[in-house]
Amino acid sequence: MPAKPQSERSVTRTYRTAIKLGDDFITIEETITLPIDADDQMVQQAVDLGWRIFRSQREAVEQQIAHIREQYTPATAITVRDPDAPASERQRNFIAALQQALGWSGEQLASFAQQHGYDLVSLNKGQASAFIDELKRLSDEHQRVVIAEERARYANQPITDKQRNAIASLARDLSLDPDAEAQRRFQAPVAQLTNEQAATLINEWQMAQRARDGRRSG
């Protein structure tokens, strides 16, 4: 099978999450596909954009979850069938998934359950549903903290050598003064840009480069 032309190569990133509403579970999935070229500039752009897309996807999913929860009211909640029956396999699997998301050991999960008056061995459906709600609340808080920490850590990292080289190459190709442009956009020379600022500049110049090349070929 012949290889795809360079212009048809792509990279895909998918983000999935599950939320619990009443006794039901809803899965949200976000997928974005980007074209990618083979040169170092585009590889660096793909890396930078991939990270930015990941953060944007997580934020978008959080917004979708918040919107769904706003639309969901106790009046329309699905009641737990046979609340005194033993916890279902689906409930126990969801508890295990939340435990993994929180990074807890079995001892930590058991301790948390005990603090809230639950016996993991003898959980019934009603107790499991309430316990899942507690774990989901903690998981949501944990995700928000992780996103905030990742955003702060990424934004404050200094520009990398690959980014610096990509900016220099793009500036030559576009006949730009890199330090002057960086100063105009971010009030700092290229050497003092953060990782995120450099990624933004590279992305903007790549778009300008494509627009120029498109006009030439048109």
Domains of the chain by residue range: 1-78, 83-154, 158-218
Structure confidence at residue 101 (pLDDT): 83
43 has pLDDT over 60: no
Q: Please state the rounded mean pLDDT for residues 74-101.
A: 79
* Minimum mean pLDDT range among 56-65, 101-110, 174-183: 56-65
Tens-digit pLDDT profile for residues 3-12: 555 456 676 6
Contacts of 197 by beta carbon, 8 Å cutoff, 6+ apart: 159, 182, 185, 186, 188
* Minimum mean pLDDT range among 44-48, 122-126, 163-167: 44-48
Q: Which amino acid is at 33?
A: T
66 has pLDDT over 80: no
Q: Between 136 and 218, whose confidence is greater?
A: 136
Query: Which string of DSSP letters, residue by residue, matches 153-185?
Result: HHHHSBPPHHHHHHHHHHHHHHT--HHHHHHHH
Structure confidence at residue 5 (pLDDT): 54
138 has pLDDT over 80: yes
Q: What is the pTM of this model?
A: 0.42
15 has pLDDT over 90: no
Structure confidence at residue 44 (pLDDT): 60
Q: Please state the rounded mean pLDDT for residues 93-113.
A: 90
Structure confidence at residue 167 (pLDDT): 93
